[in-house]
Chain A
């Protein structure tokens, strides 16, 4: 039957073809199984690593920055939580457009805008960039509502540095600001977008201690970079607290007192410990805008101000010390043996040396006088002659022992060394030999002699203790215990005959406490609190011969920038000195008076306040103080008045 045969043939063909198809199926299935074996068994390890790299992301945990405290534990700087607006470029897409949209909700300044756009270019597109910190509740609410329509925008909890005392301690505490390229030192923390690093003051010098170490958090992220959960966390170490030597109550007092004048440096030292109890450079600045973002107008104002609010003048201001340098000259002369307490010179108002005439500040001269009166009345001619006898070499050497001519190593950055001229220095800088006239000028702290207020205070501290006191702003031994430091630093002796020091101190006692002393008007009359000191008025401009003949102009007639600086150095109590105060009023202050008229009253008020506060904070311990100096019984101290 053809139909049957046809059907049989058809079936045979079908069977053959179907068998081939089945074979093809088997081959393909085997190929799939083989490929699966290759991926899941042979290369499984490689892909397992890739999967983990996909999902695990290591994030740094910013440690809380340590606090900066005063000697009794009052916080001068701490870190506070705040809310900030951040933007992630890769999620936002068009950052400029997003910023425009944000500008409709909250204020986004032109500087913020430029900074964000610059950071977007500079950083990885997944790094969050802070648009605005310190959002108010109101601003936060407005942004929070709009966040769903603004991809890449979110509100983050951040930490800002808070300075409870604002400008009062700004020069000591310093400020923090965004990390600059040069500051990157390999610490991964510094690369965090909103990390702040210390830029000045203790914030800078103690940055490593304050910073702490970063913790890490291993988080699982999804394909969009969103954190799903935390896998492991290694806690970082928060920054350590740093204790400064400041007594904030004194600091505030000194700040208030200095605000009466235009531009003042004032420093208060504890001579036993070297602690800087107060350090005021007035005017000051607000440290907060530096970490949150300083507007360029603010920056211009601060840097163009002739009173230099950004500069810490106590350590970075250099001035001719003027007559305040005379105790150093006297000590050098006594030590060299070219002067005794009985040596007397006559001051006719000037001293002639070769062709040159050197004038005394007192037109008619002081007549014949010995060392004690020369200090008391600040006779220039006496010290011209003394300096001539000592010579610049011995004078410079003594000045260095007192801490001049080099940085003292105070523990905040920015200290300037000042200058003590010497023969070598003169030859190296001008190429000409030293002349004796310059020695005479140096003898009254003028000419090339330059010193910082801190050096002047240190000089007095060394004078009253006979030891190489070095000032400190950071108390490595922590908070001030009640009852005083059990073991104050043991400063090495200066190796100066105590008798010489006593003679100089006696002269400085007379400056303040005897009638006729230059600072008699500024003496402390409270019994037991009397201070000793030395005034100084240093010239900023040259007084011409014409002016000498026709009468020196009154300060009021001279532009502020050309007026003399008023200086005063003081120690108290005079019987057993514990505190030293150095004050420099730039350009004589508002009244235009000299050191004794303008600077001495500030020293008086500061030292009086320091002594009054003293018993409340410390157990009086005069015995330990007394062993530093052999006090000369004050001959005619006049504290009772």
Chain B
């Protein structure tokens, strides 16, 4: 067994080995969550597969290809491609700033002719890839020194700044937090986190100045949602009414009055969790949370089992990014944090997000498949014996 293991650590796996190594349980969980999402979209359209459920199904089916592809490629390939992927995503984000078009009051989209892409979603996965490689190459000693962290920090701040300029506060926060978590698990000293926290606190007044009016309003609204029930507080109040009126068991599939009578804003995208929890109640909402918890747990197990530092960082980065989406979105619709435009992964209607999430799961599966593979600082398998 030891020979096999050490052998596995060095050579490229065969395709059959890779397929056998895929965590099909995780795939099943992802598939279940996506089906749940399609059902909710079907209901959000008053029991029609148009305009959302059908398109979402097709996107999910298409997104399975990059997922499986990402899972079956060699992890060394991903290691080598990490910076390229990061650079491509960053170029796309920059391109949006230059020539993207405006949708919903913000410049977030880029038209690639066939599809409209929201590169900031892809940026999340690319950032994890880039940072995982970057931190992998750092030695333990390096991680303790600030000067080695400057480049990775720029890797986080640059896309975050570009995304914030679109303006897309939600994704910018996602990028910053994902980066911070990666630094944390990479072993960056807590002292540095404290320093950064103080710096961030100092930057808050300055940052407030750069926020758009609607973003400031959202924060005011969060602080006192009932002060302006027909204005800025409308969304969050209606969202809470939808959730609360769902009760323990919900109003039943296709029977949510808040979503069907258009009291809910963005019922198919950012507020889709509300649509779900209104119709399926506390039990349904909890079931989805449980599903997410299983997926996150699966991710942790994969990362823990992985022998390469790159794989561990990549796996946990993907899982963290995923769970941040879940936390921010659900906390927002429940009125725990201000309204920020962040989709609910696997459920919300949206092509790029689906693609990005599925691609991320592909990388996570890849880490699982290549759990025994060891990588040295250059990305090659070190020929080390025991």
Contact = CB atoms under 8 A, between A and B. Distances in A.
Interface of A: 3-4, 6, 9-10, 13-15, 17-18, 20-22, 25, 28-29, 31-33, 35-37, 39-41, 43-44, 46-48, 50-52, 54-55, 220-224, 228
24 contacts: A10-B140, A13-B187, A18-B300, A18-B312, A31-B331, A32-B289, A32-B330, A33-B286, A35-B334, A36-B243, A40-B243, A40-B248, A41-B282, A44-B245, A51-B241, A51-B257, A52-B257, A54-B238, A54-B261, A55-B261, A55-B263, A220-B261, A223-B262, A228-B261
Leading 5 A-B pairs by shortest Cβ distance: A47-B244, A51-B245, A40-B282, A222-B261, A44-B247
| Interface core residue of B139, B184, B243, B323 (most chain A CB under 10 Å) | B243
B140 A13 contact: yes
Contacts of B286: 33, 36
A266 to B, nearest CB: 62
B185 A41 contact: no
Given A35-B334, A40-B244, A48-B245, 9 more contacts: A10-B140, A28-B327, A35-B331, A40-B277, A47-B244, A54-B257, A54-B263, A220-B257, A224-B262
Contact of B187 (A17, A22, A43, A54): A17
Contacts of B304: 15, 18
| Interface core residue of A22, A224, A228 (most chain B CB under 10 Å) | A22
A10 B187 contact: yes
Contacts of B330: 32
A53 to B, nearest CB: 9
Nearest to B282: A40
Nearest to A54: B263
Contact of A18 (B245, B316, B334): B316
B343 interface: no
A50 B278 CA distance: 13
A409 B286 CA distance: 75
A3 B184 CA distance: 22
Contacts of A36: 243, 277, 282, 285-286, 289, 334
A223 B263 contact: yes
A39 B243 contact: yes
A205 to B, nearest CB: 45
Nearest to B300: A22
Per DSSP, chain B at the interface is: helix
A25 B323 contact: yes
Contacts of A22: 300
Given A41-B248, A44-B247, A18 B303 contact: yes
Contact of A29 (B184, B289, B316): B289
B296 interface: yes
Contact of B257 (A17, A18, A20, A55): A55
A51 B262 contact: no
Interface string B180-196: 01001111000000000
B293 interface: yes
B103 to A, nearest CB: 22
B43 interface: no
A512 B248 CA distance: 94
Given A15-B304, A223-B262, A54 B246 contact: no
B262 A6 contact: no
B323 A17 contact: no
Interface string B14-55: 000000000000000000000000000000000000000000
A18 B185 contact: yes
B258 A51 contact: yes
Contacts of B316: 18, 21
Contacts of A41: 247-248, 282
Contacts of B320: 21
A14 B241 contact: no
| Interface core residue of A21, A51, A223 (most chain B CB under 10 Å) | A51
B257 A35 contact: no
Contacts of B334: 32, 35-36, 39
Per DSSP, chain A at the interface is: helix
B242 interface: yes
A22 to B, nearest CB: 6
B374 to A, nearest CB: 9
A224 B246 CA distance: 22
Nearest to B304: A18
A36 B382 CA distance: 49
B309 to A, nearest CB: 6
A223 B316 CA distance: 42
B244 A10 contact: no
Contacts of A54: 238, 241, 257-258, 261, 263
Given A25-B296, A29-B293, A47 B282 contact: no
B312 A14 contact: yes
Nearest to A49: B245
Contacts of B258: 51, 54-55
Contacts of A35: 331, 334, 336
Contacts of B303: 18
A31 B245 CA distance: 20
Contacts of A21: 181, 184-185, 316, 320
Nearest to A1: B384
Contacts of B323: 25, 28
B241 A222 contact: no
B240 A39 contact: yes
B360 interface: no
A50 B247 CA distance: 13
Nearest to B292: A29
| Interface core residue of A4, A15, A44 (most chain B CB under 10 Å) | A44
Nearest to A20: B184
A37 B241 contact: no
A165 to B, nearest CB: 49
Contacts of A224: 262
A223 B289 contact: no
B316 to A, nearest CB: 6
A22 B181 CA distance: 11
A22 B293 CA distance: 11
A530 B139 CA distance: 134
A222 B262 CA distance: 6
A48 B244 contact: yes
Contact of A32 (B244, B260, B327): B327
B336 A43 contact: no
A3 B382 CA distance: 11
Contacts of A9: 140
A221 B384 CA distance: 72
Interface string B278-308: 0001100110010011001000100110000
| Interface core residue of A6, A36, A37, A228 (most chain B CB under 10 Å) | A36
A62 B300 CA distance: 66
Contacts of B285: 36, 40
Nearest to B184: A17
A56 to B, nearest CB: 9
Contacts of A3: 382, 384
A596 B261 CA distance: 77
Contacts of A46: 244
Contacts of A228: 261
Nearest to B320: A21
Contacts of A10: 140, 187, 309
Contacts of A32: 289, 327, 330-331, 334, 336
B338 to A, nearest CB: 15
Contacts of B186: 14
Interface in B260-282: 260-263, 277, 281-282
Contacts of A52: 245, 257
Interface string B76-105: 000000000000000000000000000000
B184 to A, nearest CB: 6
Given A55-B261, A223-B263, A228-B261, A40 B312 contact: no
A51 B242 contact: yes
Contacts of B327: 28, 32
A10 to B, nearest CB: 5
Nearest to A15: B304
A13 B243 CA distance: 41
